[in-house]
Amino acid sequence: MVSGMNDRVCCGGFVLPIVGAVCCLVLRAAEPQEPHSAELKGSSAVGDLTDTASVLPDDNPFARPSPLAFQAPPFDRIRLEHFQPALMAGMKQQLREIEQITQQPAEPTFENTIVPLERSGQLLSRTRRVFFHLTAAHTSDALQTIQTEMAPLLAAHTDRILLNGPLFERIEAVWQTRDRAGFSEEQKEVLQRHYDDFVRAGAKLSEQQQNRIRVLNERLSVLETQFSENLLEATRERAVFVQDAAELDGLSDGERAAAAERAREHGHDGGYLLEISNTTRVPILTSLHNRDLRRRVWEASANRAVGENGGVDNRPLVLEIARLRAERAQLLGYENFAAWKLQNQMAGTPEAARRMLTDLVPAVRDRVRQEAEQLQAQMAADGVPDELRPWDWEYYAEKVRRRKFRIDEARLRSYFEFDSVLRNGVFHTMERLFGIRFEERFDLPVYHRDVRVFDVTDADGEALGLFYVDVFRRDSKRGGAWMSAWVSQSRLLQTRPVVVNVLNNPRPADGQPALISLDNVTTMFHEMGHAVHGLFSDVMYPSVSGTATPRDFVEFPSTFEEDWCIRPDILRNYARHYETGEPLPDDLLQKLLDARRFNQGFETLEYLAAAILDLEWHSLTPDAVPDDVAAFEQAVLKKYGVDVPAVPPRYRTPYFAHIWGGGYAAGYYAYLWSEVLAADAFAWMQKHGGATRANGDVFRREILSRGNSRDPMTSWQAFRGAPPAVDALLIRRGLNSE
């Protein structure tokens, strides 16, 4: 799953917060770096933000495009003190560029208005793409200080452009000519997006209303930043310390060693530290035999960021964000935030998204009931008389899975060594489908020793761009996984893509192999789907490049790639024992395939609960926002029939980073909406030969290369030749009785 970090990748040539990421935070000063890595160091002082020189000194690495291959960020030169001056100078430079557009005496045309708007803000864009990536992937107290200072200024900058009356007048004048000016399909789409962006931001409001919009935007930027910073701290503070090794019965030697290392890193003299994940459930719950420890770990995860024992409390932030978003939506003429947000998505309305979710509830609840009965029976067989609890579900689901399918997770992991999955799985599949090749290089600087860099070459030998991957979990990285673009493809700007996939695989103990779970494997294929969406972009204008598509479309290409990881012909190429090199045995492979749909009631219900919560929070009017977060949550879950105590939402409100600190507000439903497209597309490919270049070339031409240069439904129809159908989704999730 991708952890979303932005409302839009960009708005015209200027980038909106947070940039370049599609999905999911302290930099230790003493963190060791590889020789080719760059250590971020320097002053954290922000200084007077209103007195920054408009021209950057030559020693600031953001002053001009990077001289490195494909304009890759020069991390060996970037220091903390470079960000704030570059951001300030970038805003000033873009405002001058906007002023030049508005002061032209010539009548507005696409060439003298839209094209320079697309070109504007390049200094700001290259600075903030790196800055916001680091605040998520490798942050520090100093970076967070700068982020807190800059967030309202960047929000105000966006307002200065989107609420610029003379600029909007020129855009609207060009927009009025759209049906008679002979624009290309891509030009029409770019023009429509600019026009919609300005209208949706308040360009047609009165001056008084626009001033209120500015205030709301600045305040929201501060609150959303604070939410993300609080969540990182809450996740750290809720890690569970275990003194007695006997309590860890069920964990592998490698997992114990890693937990011991985490404890030492956090200043404990002995013992073990169990980290919690970004979701309510925690992966180690499948392994821990000690029921009380499972309860402690689950409660640490589910009760984070609620001020427990004087800790971090995100609830006041949530309530204020919900009220301000609702107020802003009403100012813009919409009933609520969800109505505003979905107006330019494929779903179109909150009702359409909600209907898609709730239509699944009866079948999913029925499957959950069947699954719970199996787990309860297993508990009884183990002599546990209590009812099934949320900290029991995954543990007993794993027991039933092993009994039913005879799968040993520890044994299975031994066939999923990270580098083999990456090279012989993910890269191999991309070569089969698209003919591209990945070659690792070691001459480019990176921001952390966990980051690796690859040249990406097309089938004809032409260089496509650069692919970075940031592999392991660490304290300075937020949870989840995501893709970011440091440089986006654009024929107008003559740029080629530089993209990065950020993962959170568990770091092995020193000297141990990096063995990962099937879930981690699936995530790697998913994120590569986002990466090739960026790498294959072939458009003129940066505002429609790569992953700059609607939220309920952007997860389609990535989810589509997931299913290749369990295709027998693909899996046999990478799933090899890390010691012997033997391929995954046929019997284990068959059990794996049989087990793929097991527990899908649980998986689907926890997602539905979170997605419904998101829509309901953002369907409120300002006056309807409650005071009690927990009570509202429970009422919503009960109203829609997703209140199953043993299956809590994947995210509870206080740590729902997607919607409060990221860009998925009123859009978390998009994962399932996109999965409908992905399942249908994958089923079509299976009927037409599977992972062939012919199939891959069609997908690349009609979907991946287009970005948002045409309506997403048009792209879908060009690829599939028929409207999307849910049949393949029901089969994919094992919810079809057939």
Give the residue numbers marked as catalytic.
527
Alpha-carbon span 531 to 464, nearest angstrom: 12
Containing 272, the helix (H) or strand (E) segment is: strand 272-274
Tell me the C-alpha distance between 405 and 706, whole Å. 42
CA dist., res. 618 & res. 7, Å (int): 15
* Angle value at C-alpha 309, between 305 and 314, nearest 5 degrees: 20
Task: Tell me if 610 sits within 8 A of 650, measured CB to CB.
Answer: yes
- For 462, other C-beta atoms within 10 Å of its C-beta total 8
Q: For the chain, how many residues are written?
A: 738
What is the Rg, in whole angstroms, of the alpha carbon atoms belonging to the chain? 25
Rounded Cα–Cα distance for residues 95 and 638 (Å): 50
The string of DSSP letters for 158-185 reads: HHHHHT-HHHHHHHHHHHTTTTTS---H
Coil, helix or strand at residue 537: coil
Nearest to 59 by CA among 86, 40, 39, 36: 86
Number of Cβ atoms within 10 Å of the Cβ of 663: 23
* Nearest alpha carbon to residue 130 among 194, 38, 59: 38
Q: Give 623's contacts (C-beta < 8 A, 6+ positions apart).
A: none
Question: CB–CB of 310/234 below 8 Å?
Answer: no
Maximum Cα interatomic distance, the chain, rounded to a whole number of Å: 84
> 52 and 85 in contact (C-beta within 8 Å)?
yes
Euclidean distance between CA atoms 112 and 105, whole angstroms: 10
Crossing angle for the helix pair 141-162 and 80-102, nearest 10 degrees?
Answer: 0
C-alpha pair distances (Å), 486 with each of 127, 446, 483? 9, 13, 10
Distance CA 5, CA 22 (A): 6
d(CA 284, CA 298): 10
Residue pair 242/272 in contact by the 8 Å Cβ criterion: yes
Closest by CA to 472, choosing from 394, 419, 542, 518, is 419
Ramachandran angles phi, psi of 505, nearest 5°: -65, 145
Give dist(CA 154, CA 150) in Å, integer.
Answer: 6
Using DSSP, state whether 18 is helix, strand or coil.
Answer: coil
What b/e readout covers 366-404, taking b as 16+ CB neighbours within 10 angstroms? ebbeebbebbbebbeeeeeeeebbbbbbbbbbbbbbeee
473 phi, psi to nearest 5 deg: -70, 145
* DSSP for 430-498, written as a single string: HHHHH--EEEEE-SS-BSSTTEEEEEEE-TTS-EEEEEEEEEE--TTS-SSBEEEEEE--BTTTTB--E
Whose structure tokens read 């290409």?
A: 557
**Of the candidates 453, 456, 472, 474, which has an alpha carbon nearest to the alpha carbon of residue 464?**
456
